[in-house]
Structure 1
Amino acid sequence: MAILDRTTTPRRAAPPSPRDRYCALRDAALAELDAFEGLGREAVRPWQLARLHEQVAHARRNSPFYRHHLAGLPADTGGEDPALLPFTTKDDLRRGYPLELLAVPPSDVARYGESTGTTGSPTSSAITYQDWVRGNVSTERSLAHRFGPGDLVFVAIPYELSFAAYDLDRALETVGAAVVGTGILSAVCPVERTARMIATLRPAGIVCSPTRALRLHDLLREAGHDPAALGVRTVLYVGETCSPAKLAKIARLWQADLVPAYGTTETNSLALSCERGRAHLTEDRHLFEVLDPATGAPLRPGATGELVLSTLVAQAMPLLRYRTGDLVSRDPDPCPCGSVRATVRHHGRVGDRLLVAGRSLDRLDLEEAVLSVPGTGLYYAAGVEEERLRLRVECPDRPARQVCAEVAERVHVRLGVTPEVTEVDRATVGRAMDAMLKPGNLTLADLDAAR
């Protein structure tokens, strides 16, 4: 018998070209988005629970971690109520590092990433090509409200290990914008070079953290430029949360719209902005809960609590009731843009709360109290020493003694704690920030090290 008998051996179809494969996945993902947006709000929960049922089955069957984590539970647990499932925590991800949570063969992974490890051992994340395209089209839809052909956009967030910078980069490219991928804390492109390039190229947008936007503004001013005259229309801020007072100051300085995006290393995007600038949860890919971080009990709509998520369509790394450690509040009212997705506001990390004499302080509430005082500048740092709240505040426009006294009074009135407040100069703040991956987490120790 001939080795190749064309009369009996079926011919295999040629695999699709990379371009055809991408186009097919992109078209399917866009159709999924449109179908979800066509749901009424009352239909969202049943739609999510049906997909959660499938996701739990996929995780049980294919993920070594969930095969063990869900052992002993009935096979259909979770499809009707996510609260019946156990939590997944950051420690679980650390123990499962690097691939115990993987639910596909390693050969199916298109991208692998890790957390920075700044708060403990790193965690891993992985996505298939379909996971990647699904997320990217959501980002593309969001960015199309702000950017298009002829726009130049700087992406000044880390490219190393995470997905966010590449996700934004590719989505910007798809909507027709030109991208300058500067990253941050790079020996090739330090923040000073980024500022010089912004002055030269005059971009339409910058993707960075809010505090990095302030630092770039300072450097441009020091070089003799007026940042508000450089043509930046939009600052897409990621990587840290911000009080309304701080956002208002940044918007005024740049004369630009500040638009949020929010995600995690393990999931990529979790909330993307609409044309109104409000962050909408990616409810077509995740089921979200807002729970009391201490008890795990669900909170009323609008209350601030820990965001807990379950993936709905993840192939590579399903996560079930994952405790993000992020504090959020979900708006109970629909957005005027008409999207079926709920909107969310990020309030920082559960672990970022300050404990002062038995009282827990939300850093965002503290920032709002401090920076809303007339005469405060753009920067402040907080810490607890010997059970006392200590603040260092920039005071560029009024006598420091007067400003510090008013800050102490406002914090006392709003938060019930009387802090010790002293002045800090902007040069010290700048030196500290330039050495930090996340300058929004500026601490008293960072300032002391930068003296």
Structure 2
Amino acid sequence: MKTVKKYRFYDFETSLEDYQLHKLNQMLAFIVRQNEFYKEKLTNISIPIQSKNDLASLPFTTKEELIKDQQDYPPFGRNHSYPLQYYNRFHQTSGTSGCPLKILDTKTSWQWWENCWLEVLKSSKVQETDRVFLAFSFGPFVGFWGGFEAAKKLGALVITSGSQTSKDRLQTIVELEATVLLCTPSYALHLVEIAKELNLDLKKTAIQKIITAGEPGGSIPSIRKRIEEAWSAKVFDHVGMTEMGAYGYSCEMQNGLHINESEFIAEIINPDTLEPVDPGDTGELVLTNLGRYGYPLIRYRTGDLVKFDPTPCPCGNTYTFLPGGLIGRKDDMVVIRGINIFPSSIESIIREFDEILEFRIVYYTIDNMDQIKVQIETREPSLKETLATLLRQRIGLRIQVEVVERLPRFELKGRRVLDLRNHVRVV
């Protein structure tokens, strides 16, 4: 018989839904008094919320709103529940999809961040005896800052690499016998390239687990397979947002992402109708954080597209499960000759070829018609025809493949899409 997990709220135990509602109503009562941004947005909203069905009475929050609020009330906007002197952490979004958001956290809110990341480490079976190496430059992008703090709290040996070169990082991983690597999927593959130049066999390092973030690659089977085979280590995915928090993680099944529903309320909506999607359908992920009082977000439209599947993961975790992880971002999707194109779909095919070192997707216009081509950097130029055939079979579109000498490498989020439509003519 299946055991129903109970959640403690003060001195009593309750179900997950009631627990979420208690935490949500507690936060709402606080921010309508203390937070100028939400005090304005939630005017005339009746609280407390009686059920999750009543969430629809709360307005969505969008990134565009937050950016405009910061432009109108520089530099940090009004989405802060305390006077600025109570904030001691600053981060900002990467800016890959527009103007970066500036985010502040109080000491308590940052501790909440750490605890969310602890769940990521625990799901990956990281222990206090591990040596955790963070291949991350520690700039204003939140990246693995939370992972750094959580690994410390766990009691693991934390090894930062700051401004080290990739060569230096590999040498440190070997010398200090690091057992866990935190980095983006792109950077894990880049380190494979560097290791080959150094004649270093990554399979002989002590790395046993690789926790990825920043890109959807950790949940894409072909990318995960390449990383795992090169490193002889198990890859675990993680997903979070600077403005939202570390909200999801993979498990030992490696077949998708779990939402940490003790700290986040998840909804999946049709981005056009704004209604909940049916089981099996793809929709936009909407999240509400429940413990970040210093920077709350209510019904935040993440822009991430996911598949809604109410079937629990075989691992036994009953939290909302996203099979396959993040499909892509709704603003990343383009329509070329009637076909919906997601960069992640193209990448999953390209990563099946070990000979392809790096790639770039280029959108362009010829005679007022949108076109697409893929540029690849490879040791085997002859495979471009094989790749073109596979892209046509899988995507359903003829995509030109072009071999180029050198493409950029990325430590943080990869920027592998070049959109030249209606800008210049590319032939």
1:122-161 correspondence runs (5 A): 122-144=100-122, 145-161=124-140
Partners of 2:301 and 2:20 lie apart in 1 by 18
2:226 is paired with a residue whose SS is: helix
Instruction: Give the conservation status (yes or no) of the 8 Å contact 1:326–1:350.
Output: yes
**Pick from 142, 145, 154: which aligns with 1:175?**
154
Specify the alignment match of 2:390 in structure 1.
Answer: 410
Deviation at 1:78, TM superposition (A): 8.1
SS of 1:179's equivalent in the other structure is strand
CA distance in 2, matches of 1:445, 1:384: 5
TM-score (norm. length: structure 1): 0.79
Q: Aligned AA for 1:191?
A: S
Q: Secondary structure at the match of 1:113?
A: strand
Indicate yes or no: 2:74 matched with 1:95.
Answer: no
User: Does the CA contact (< 8 Å) of 1:234 and 1:258 recur in 2?
Assistant: yes
The partner residue of 1:392 within 350, 361, 375 is 375
> CA offsets per residue over residues 48-104 of structure 1, 9 Å max, x none?
233323333322222111121222444556865212222111111112221401112
The one-character-per-residue Cα deviations of 1:12-48 (angstroms, maximum 9, x if unpaired) are: xxxxxxxxxxxxxxxxxxxx99649xx99x9433432
Match among 154, 157, 166 for residue 191 of structure 1: 166
Partner of 2:144, secondary structure, is helix
2:7/2:15 contact within 8 Å kept: no
Contact 2:132/2:180 (<8 A) preserved: yes
The residue correspondences of 1:361-440 to structure 2 (distance < 5 A) are 361-372=341-352, 377-386=356-365, 387-396=370-379, 400-401=381-382, 403-425=383-405, 428-429=406-407, 432-433=408-409, 437-439=412-414
**Residue 234 of structure 1, aligned match among 188, 197, 209:** 209
Letter in 2 for 1:56: L
Give the direction of change, closer, same or farther, for the CA distance of 1:99–1:179 in structure 2 (3 Å limit): same
Please report the RMSD computed on the Cα atoms of aligned residues, expressed in angstroms. 2.9
Which shows bigger deviation, 64-73 or 228-237? 64-73
Q: Which has the higher helix share?
A: 1
2:176 aligns with one of 201, 220, 227: 201
Question: 2:376 touches 2:402 (CA, 8 Å); kept in 1?
Answer: yes
Q: Pick closer, same or farther for the CA change 1:304–1:158 going to 2, 3 Å.
A: farther
What is the distance in 1 between the residues matched to 2:182 and 2:301?
27
2:273 matches 1:319: no
Shift of 1:332: 2.3
Q: Is the 8 A contact 2:214 2:412 kept in 1?
A: no
Q: 1:203 Cα deviation (Å)? A: 1.4
Residue 92 of structure 2 is matched in structure 1 by 114
TM-superposed deviation, 1:325:
1.4
> How far did residue 339 of structure 1 move?
2.6
Quote the offset at 1:257 in angstroms: 0.4
How many Å apart are 1:444 and its aligned residue?
5.1
Q: Are the aligned partners of 2:277 and 2:308 in contact in 1 as well (CA < 8 Å)?
A: no
Write the letter of the residue equivalent to 1:245.
Answer: S
Q: In the alignment, which residue of structure 2 is the partner of 1:282?
A: 260
TM-score norm. by structure 2 comes to 0.84
Q: Secondary structure at the match of 2:174?
A: helix
Q: Does 1:335 align with 2:330?
A: no
- Cα 1:222/1:172, change in 2 over 3 Å: same
> Aligned pair in 2 of structure 1 residues 301, 115: CA closer, same or farther (>3 Å)?
same
Give 1:227 deviation, angstroms: 1.1
- 2:20 maps to which of 30, 33, 48: 48
Rg larger in structure = 1
Percent identity between the two aligned chains: 26
Deviations 1:143-171 (A, max 9, x none): 24433344322111342224442321122
Structure 1, unaligned stretches of length 5 or more? 1-31, 447-451
The aligned counterpart of 1:295 is 273
Contact in 2 for aligned 1:355/1:361 (Cα 8 Å)? yes
CA distance in structure 2 between the partners assigned to 1:143 and 1:291 by the alignment:
29
Number of matched residues? Answer: 398
Q: Which runs of 5+ in 2 are unaligned?
A: 71-75, 421-427
Q: Counterparts of 1:103 and 1:204 in 2: how far apart (Å)?
A: 40
